[in-house]
Amino acid sequence: MNRAELPAALRDAISSDLKPVRPLSPVWRRALIVGAMAVVVMIVVVSTTQLRADLASLSILVGWGAAFLELFIGIVLIGLSLRESVPGLALSPGAIAAALGLGAAVNIIIVFATWAGSSAANAYTEPFMEGVVCSRAETLFGVPALIVTLILVARALPLRPHVVGLLAGCGAGMIGDGINHLLCPISTLRHVLVWHSGVIVLLALLGWGAGLGWEFYEARRA
């Protein structure tokens, strides 16, 4: 069907719907926006909050190095979520599993390395309340990255929003955990695995749920 065969009403409807579209920024540039924001949050938190008491007893690698490593892995995961949100750049199931597995492995290694090297590994007096305080702070550190990522994703027309949300949530959780790693003085495995690593899982599920909600909304609208 050529233009001459189109009904006049249809041509008018198409013409009235045409709008200029701003080109989508490259994935690395949009990931850099989230990364810069995460670094700013870390700087503000570290400069205004008392750092963990046993930080000096930890090696540079296990202390500051682990925090920056988690921050970096979080930004990488968010970059992958931004890539996944672009039609034609979808990740393979193997790549998605490898990315999530890398994040989990890095977190677990840091947990056990910190537990082994901390001088305050038994500082655990009120398990529930201390856990709530830690998880709340870590969530607050990570949620801004998740929100900004989802805003950036909204312009990219993702075909699998649940995958995008899962990667973004996991990345945001890693960022939050990296910042909290410099603050929380408790290194017992039970505390860190439940209340710290648990926040990473929580934000990953939150992102995944947001993606499913998006898919449901689009399906209903269609």
pLDDT of residue 207: 97
**How much is the pLDDT for 17?**
67
In this prediction, residue 60 carries a pLDDT of 94
CB-based contact 183:137 (threshold 8 Å) = yes
| CB neighbour list of residue 12: distance below 8 Å, 6 or more residues apart | none
Cβ count near 68 (within 10 Å): 15
Q: Which helix (H) or strand (E) holds 202?
A: helix 197-221
Closest by CA position to 134, among listed 147, 123, 119, 149: 123
Residues 112, 116, 120, 121, CA torsion sign: positive
pTM, two decimals, is 0.88
d(CA 192, CA 128): 12
Report residues of the chain scoring pLDDT below 70: 1-4, 6, 17-22, 120-124, 222
In contact, 71 and 110? CB cutoff 8 Å: no
pLDDT score at 1: 46
Cα 177 to Cα 199: distance, rounded to the nearest angstrom: 8
CB 70, CB 176: distance < 8 Å: no
Whole-angstrom CA distances from 163 to 11, 79, 87, 114 are: 37, 13, 13, 31
